[in-house]
Amino acid sequence: MRQDPLQIGELLAPAVQAMGYELVGVEYRSGSPGGSLLRVYIDNAQGITVDDCQAVSYQVSGILDVEDPIPGHYTLEVSSPGLDRLLFKRDDYERFTGSLVKLRLAFPLEGRRKYQGRLQGLDGDNVVIDQDGDQISLPFDQIEQARLVPEY
């Protein structure tokens, strides 16, 4: 019985990649008012259409039915990462260096859980952002959620 999004992502990645897409990340939320939710984010160089999401959803549903990593009822959503894309992997923090990001920590660091600044990349096990000229180093393993902030 696996419910860890990382493990579910590892299960689904080969099939998603074989279809020509990047598996950006997986979110799993249990106990939501409408039941559990499994959200799978995909991308490719040409962008993502509704037809892409439908094709991947069909393939992923088959894998999930066979492997059964999530007990009980859940809703599967397949989506593009969007302009405010979530950052899941260490590589994402290098790839989007220079971008504006919002981060939320699992536990407060110096009394704060929420940060926003320009992503400077990784320094060892820390994510570094520039917040108004100050370099702030945040432990990667304490980041609960990180997403890009669209700049227009």
Domain residue extents for the chain: 5-79, 90-148
Ranking 4-8, 25-29, 107-111, 145-149 by mean pLDDT, the lowest is 4-8
Please give the pLDDT value at position 32. 64
Give residues with Cβ within 8 angstroms of 9, minimum separation 6.
Answer: 23, 25, 26, 88
Q: pLDDT, tens digit, for every residue of 61-118?
A: 999 999 988 888 889 999 999 999 999 999 999 999 999 999 999 999 989 999 999 9
CATH fold of 5-79 reads: GMP Synthetase; Chain A, domain 3 (3.30.300)
Q: Is the pLDDT of residue 2 over 80?
A: no
Please give the pLDDT value at position 29. 87
Instruction: For domain 90-148, say whether CATH 2.30.40.10 is its number.
Output: no
User: For residues 90-126, b (16+ Cβ closer than 10 Å) or e, as one string?
Assistant: eebbeebeebebbbebeeeeeeeeebebebbebeeeb
Q: pLDDT, tens digit, for every residue of 129-151?
A: 999 999 999 999 999 999 999 99
Q: What is the pTM of this model?
A: 0.86
* Per-residue pLDDT band at 1 (split at 50, 70, 90): very low
* Per-residue pLDDT band at 30 (split at 50, 70, 90): confident
Inter-residue contact 57 to 78 (CB < 8 Å)? yes
Q: Is the pLDDT of residue 3 over 80?
A: no
* 10-31: average pLDDT: 93
